[in-house]
Amino acid sequence: MALPSTFLPAASLFLTFCLCLYPQLALANPGSTGITRHYKFNIRMQNVTRLCQTKSIITVNGKFPGPRIIAREGDRLVIKVVNHVSNNITIHWHGIRQLRSGWADGPAYITQCPIQTGQSYVYNFTIIGQTGTLWYHAHVSWIRSTLYGPIIILPRRNTSYPFVKPYKEVPIIFGEWWNSDTEAVINQALQTGAGPNNSDAYTINGLPGPLYNNCSSPMETFRLKVKPGKTYLLRLINAALNDELFFKIRNHTFTIVDADASYVKPFETDTIYITPGQTSNVLFKTKTLTSNAKFVMAARPYSTNAAGTFDNSTVAGVLEYMSTDSMSSSSINASIKGLPLPTLPVINATSYVANWTNKFRSLGSSQFPVNVPQTVQNRYYFAVGLGTDPCPKNQTCQGPINGTKFAASVNNISFTLPTTALLQARYFGKSNGVFTTDFPTTPLNPFNYTGTAPNNTMVSHGTKVVMLPYNTTVELVMQGTSIFGFENHPLHLHGFNFYVVGQGTGNFNSATDPTSFNLVDPVERNTVGVPSGGWVAVRFRADNPGLWFMHCHIEIHLSWGLRMAWAVMDGKLPNQKLPPPPSDLPQC
């Protein structure tokens, strides 16, 4: 039976209405195995009250944390970002491989110029070969302190998780709350050369909990309501600017099943360790308890650098077994304060962190094989850590040594952010004067990296990249340094996952340490901690043409210059080349 002609415009209007009202609704994506999902991100200021103070913060669609992005593996995401604030904005889709979609990666002045006030940009990319939890965040200055949210990637239709199906899935995002404007915090730190002021609280899903002061609203405590005897999937994200965290729920355990949207061999633990930038999916089975049972969950920092400052506080939430009797919000804080806190590792629990990271192994099943490169064509040895810059004339600086400012570097080069996006400059053959391709493969001035610090701690500056031929294999050893104290550095590589094939304490020994590399089932990640007082080795294949940022995900270290970039050349075939930029790509 033919439809009446009046039905077609009405159906079209109804579909348009639905897509405007529910941007997560998808349209078919012809020629692909997935569908296209449309979102619209309006970047707006929103008044938010925390710790008894109200401030205007930068948000997505007025939400803090931002709204969830939900997709399946194989889906295409089309996300229009409209900037309604006075700040320049970019958004990075953290952990997304961005295969041949480098224009959508998001770091300011690396793959794009920022979206200016009143302007918009459409990020267009496909999720290929990834299932789990990732996240998005602003990638310009310190705006990501409030502009972040989860990316939930479900398995393809008619497929399932390689573990028991959970009863419910819950994103848990750790963050930091600042009563001050974070742009003022970082600007002051860069001006004085000192470490930045600390955050005022940690948060769980944007809420600081009851341990900070007595005037905070009871509604500022995260509550996870559960049913007895059920298995939940917790999607953990560390979105904090500057702090690695321990997390625990009293008298409960977790089963780790995923790291950075890659499946791992499951293992049990009662304490989670997670660095800024990292994500993890964990199974959490509730106990067979009577209703109204409550347990405190808590997170606090891991830090080993005695020379620095950090927010040494604890964020708490409550795990509440559901009952028929509802608990009034006014009694939430009182009930938590009467409950014992979980026992977390000490602040500088380096041995716990080392044991934790050594437990991770790729799942390595026939359905999820391990493709770690067995041979290496390009080897690099990067010394990463802190250093100093001289204090400008006629200025008083508050750096670690009199007359200096804090700096950070990779192989003694502190990366200078350009004023033209690197990917644009390279694609259009205008890199001259923007960047050079002489980034050193090894430290220019070797020293005892984990021993006595050298007398000269000054860094050099430049906008240098490493050139990689398409599809070649890379082994990168990242060596921590002892300058101004040992510190763990979570290094994030854009555009790639890598396999963590080895790690150890002290200085890397190129003759003996590779003999213990795991080339069978190493964990696959996009963010890895360079151990405090040690090294980590990773391998990956340069199969993604473009220009890719790599940096420490502790934001102050990124601001001080602990960052660099990899330029991966095009391959010979059409599907091995970076496509032209979209017409709405922001210009500098």
Query: pLDDT, tens digit, for every residue of 208-239?
Result: 999 997 666 678 999 999 999 999 999 999 99
Element (H, E) at 191: helix 182-192
Beta-sheet strands, E only, within 146-226: 148-154, 168-177, 201-204, 223-226
Beta-sheet strands, E only, within 497-544: 498-505, 523-525, 527-530, 534-541
Average pLDDT over every residue of 523-536 = 97
DSSP 8-state secondary structure symbol assigned to residue 329: G
pLDDT band at 308 (very low <50, low <70, confident <90, very high): low
Asked whether the bond before 107 is cis by omega within 30 degrees of 0, the reply is: no
Amino acid identity, position 208: P
pLDDT computed for residue 214 by the predictor: 66
Residue 269 bridge partners (DSSP)? 254
Distance CA 442, CA 422 (A): 23
3-state secondary structure of 315: strand
Are residues 96 and 223 in contact, defined by beta-carbon separation less than 8 angstroms? no
Q: Quote the percentage of the chain above a pLDDT of 70.
A: 90
Q: Which among 368, 461, 455 has a CA at the least distance from the CA of 410?
A: 461
pLDDT computed for residue 69 by the predictor: 98
- Pair of tokens at residue 294: 């409550």
C-alpha of 350 from chain center? 21
Average pLDDT over every residue of 141-163 = 97
> Lowest-confidence range among 183-192, 305-314, 497-506?
305-314
Residue 132 bridge partners (DSSP)? 153
Give 27-75 pLDDT, tens digit per residue: 444 445 799 999 999 999 999 999 999 999 999 999 999 999 999 999 9
pTM for the complete prediction?
A: 0.93
Distance CA 130, CA 97 (A): 8
Residue 143 has pLDDT above 80, yes or no: yes
The residue among 485 and 236 whose pLDDT is bigger is 236
Residue 312 sits at φ, ψ, to 5 deg, of -90, 70
pLDDT computed for residue 335 by the predictor: 63
Residue 14 sits at φ, ψ, to 5 deg, of -65, -40
Residue 332 has pLDDT above 60, yes or no: no
> Residues near 358 by Cβ (< 8 Å), separated by ≥ 6?
503
Amino acid identity, position 365: S
| Mean pLDDT over each residue of the chain, to the nearest integer | 92
Give 539-561 pLDDT, tens digit per residue: 999 999 999 999 999 999 999 99
- Pair of tokens at residue 205: 């899903």
pLDDT band at 13 (very low <50, low <70, confident <90, very high): very low
Sheet holding 201-204, edge to edge: 201-204, 168-177, 231-238, 279-285, 254-259, 262-269
pLDDT band at 306 (very low <50, low <70, confident <90, very high): low
Average pLDDT over every residue of 163-184 = 97
3-state secondary structure of 549: strand
The CA-based dihedral angle spanning residues 481, 482, 488, 490, taken in that order and rounded to the nearest 10 degrees: -30
Q: Which among 96, 100, 57 has a CA at the least distance from the CA of 79?
A: 96
3-state secondary structure of 325: coil
